[in-house]
Every structure is written in C-alpha cells, then in structure tokens.
Structure 1
C-alpha cells in the first residue's frame, strides 16, 4: 500500500471567545460598534472615498481599546486565543510574544463585500463576529498554492476539505477565527437585509 502524507498544512483556528478570559457581552459590543461608526467622521469619509460599502474603522481609528473598555476586555481575550494558536503552530518566538498590531470594526450592509486580500506585515490575523444574521456571508479562504496550479484540473465538489481550493468558514456570533496572515481571504457579498458586523485584528512579532 502506498504511504501518502499531508504536507505543509495550513491551520485555521476556531473557538468561542468565551473559552479564554472574561465574557464579552455581544450586545454591548454591537452597540459600541454602531456608536463608533456613527461618530467616526474620518472613517465615514474614507469609506465614501474608497467605495467601501458600509463602515470600517481600519483607516481612521487605532485606539479602540482606549476609547471603549469593552474593546480593552476583548483584546485580553484575543491575546489568550492568539497565544494558544501560536503554540499549536509551534512557533519559536525566542522569548517574545505576539502582540496586537491593530484592531478595527467592519459593518457590511446588504450587498457589501470585502475583496480577496492578505495581511503581509503581520504574523496572525483574525476576526471575531458580532452580528451574523441569516444570509450573512461566510469567510472565504483560498489555497495559497492556487496561483501555481495553472494546469491542474478542478477538484471534485465532494473533495475532502483539506484538498479544496476554497474553504467557506461559517462563523456564529461570539466565534473567533485565526489564521496566518499570508493566507488569502475575502468576505463574499452579504445577502442578508441586516448588517454583518465583525471586529478584525492583526498580531505581529515584536
């Protein structure tokens, strides 16, 4: 019998926020996201100028944990999740820690989407989910080798998950997803009439 190994594994971490640290009130977090979006005129202007549907604080606010205590609590929880993921990845951090680089809000209305991208200057990236109404889009993850498979046939629709070109991770409110920052990902169009709300973040090695 042949021996077939799976090599160069891409890891996706998924857990409930509540598995680490203090409980985060989802309703309070959602209200805070809307409050910040309403007051953040610079962020609203950036979204308008760049054709971003809905709202993101990515280009306008860098101090969410300082502005709202619930974000400070959230970062403490995220720190624990990221540390657990780094251990699973068997990183040799040389006595250092992965530290929060930035954290931002995403509010996608009906029809909103976020095109495929990576986070090239970070180590671990992730998102926690604040509002996921029925019809809200999953997170779409792309096989990082896809650009090198120009002559390869497509995979069968029932292919094993680890062999698929794209994976759709469907989170629920209170989930946190983590991945290595080089992994290309996107948010397909929100088909719900209600907002899809998430908080995304990057961790770097300092």
Structure 2
C-alpha cells in the first residue's frame, strides 16, 4: 500500500480583527493611522534617510497602544488572535507567555514595496489591514525549504498550495494574518493609485 503524507507544515492564521470581541471602527483606525503619519516627523525623517517608500512608524513610535486608545483596543484583540494561533501551533510555553513586542503602522503608496524579510527575535508576527484598495499588493510568502531545493524542478502551474514555492494571500480590510516569525515574506509593488495601510506587529516569548 502506497502512502504519501505531509511531514512538516507551515501554518498561516487568517481571521478578522473583530472576531474576538468589541468591534473596532475601521474608519477611526484609518484616520488615526493617517494622523500619526502626518505628525510623526521622526518617522518621516527615518523613511527619507532610509529610502523607505511611504511611511512606517517602525523606527520612531513604540508606544502606539499607550498614545492612542484605539490601538489599545487593537492590541487587546490581537492578544486573543495570537493566543488562538499559539494553541493551534501546539506550543509548550512552559509557564511563559507570548506578549506584544512591537506594533507599527505601514502606509505604502503607489509603486511602494516591502522587500523580502523575516522578523528576527520574535515568535509570531502578523499584520492587520486598514485599507486595501483595488489592485493593491497581496502579501507573498516563500516556502521555507527554498534554500534546500538546489536541484528541484519548478512546480507545475496550478500546483497545490502546499507544493508551491510562493503563495500570495489577498487579505481584505479588517483581516488579521499571523505566521511564525521565521517565515520569509514580502509585499510586491503597490499597483493601485491609492495608499495601502496596514498595522504590523511582533510577539515574543516573555516570563
């Protein structure tokens, strides 16, 4: 009897931000992100100095949940999503917990990209989507086995998702995506005429 099974699995969690509690107003969250971007001179300078397309608060603001009540609500919702994902991953936390390490805003203009990267020193990373205009970039995930596939042929067009070298996910406004932080990912060029706004975050292991 022939048997073929998958031995190792890369999990991707997808839900809606409001799935675990009180509704967070999408319009208010968008306006807050735009207001922060307008006022954050340090963040604007960092983006300019580092040729970063659009705006990110990654290098300038590390206390969004303290400064803005709506971000406190966002973090409370994300805590529940991350707990659900950690349960699915069957982590043995040995009395420790996963807690928010960082959270930041991304505003990607027309032509902007986020090149391929991972999130070191974190356990779970993710993004929630504030605006996703038509033709805005999906998020692209890379098969973590790529470095070991020295002589592997290319996959057939239409191959099963679990056999592809790259998987593109097209989230909607209000969606939350979570993945283990070692999973390489990127945001291809934004081909929309409008800005793509998202909020990204990392969770790490804490006492």
TM-score in terms of structure 2 length:
0.98
Deviation at 1:165, TM superposition (A): 0.4
Secondary structure of 1:65's aligned partner = helix
> How many Å separate the matches in 2 of 1:9 and 1:67?
38
Deviation at 1:131, TM superposition (A): 0.2
- Runs of 5+ consecutive residues of structure 1 not aligned to the other structure: none
Task: Work out whether 1:160 is the aligned partner of 2:160.
Answer: yes
* Number of the residue aligned with 2:131: 131
Deviation at 1:201, TM superposition (A): 0.1
**Cα distance per residue 1:120-169 (max 9 Å; x no partner):** 10000000000000010001000011011021100001100000000001
**Cα distance per residue 1:20-67 (max 9 Å; x no partner):** 122110000000000000000000000000001100000000000011
* Number of the residue aligned with 2:35: 35
* Number of the residue aligned with 2:174: 174
> How many Å separate the matches in 1 of 2:18 and 2:10?
24
Deviates more, 1:91-100 or 1:119-128: 91-100
State the 4+ residue runs in structure 1 displaced beyond 3 angstroms. Answer: none
> How many Å separate the matches in 2 of 1:67 and 1:189?
31
Provide the aligned C-alpha RMSD in A: 0.6
> How many Å separate the matches in 1 of 2:126 and 2:160?
24
> How many Å separate the matches in 2 of 1:184 and 1:114?
12
* Number of the residue aligned with 1:193: 193
Secondary structure of 2:155's aligned partner = coil
> How many Å separate the matches in 2 of 1:126 and 1:22?
20
* Number of the residue aligned with 2:84: 84
* Number of the residue aligned with 2:13: 13
Secondary structure of 1:99's aligned partner = strand
- Runs of 5+ consecutive residues of structure 2 not aligned to the other structure: none
Aligned residues: 206
Secondary structure of 2:129's aligned partner = strand
> How many Å separate the matches in 1 of 2:18 and 2:49?
37
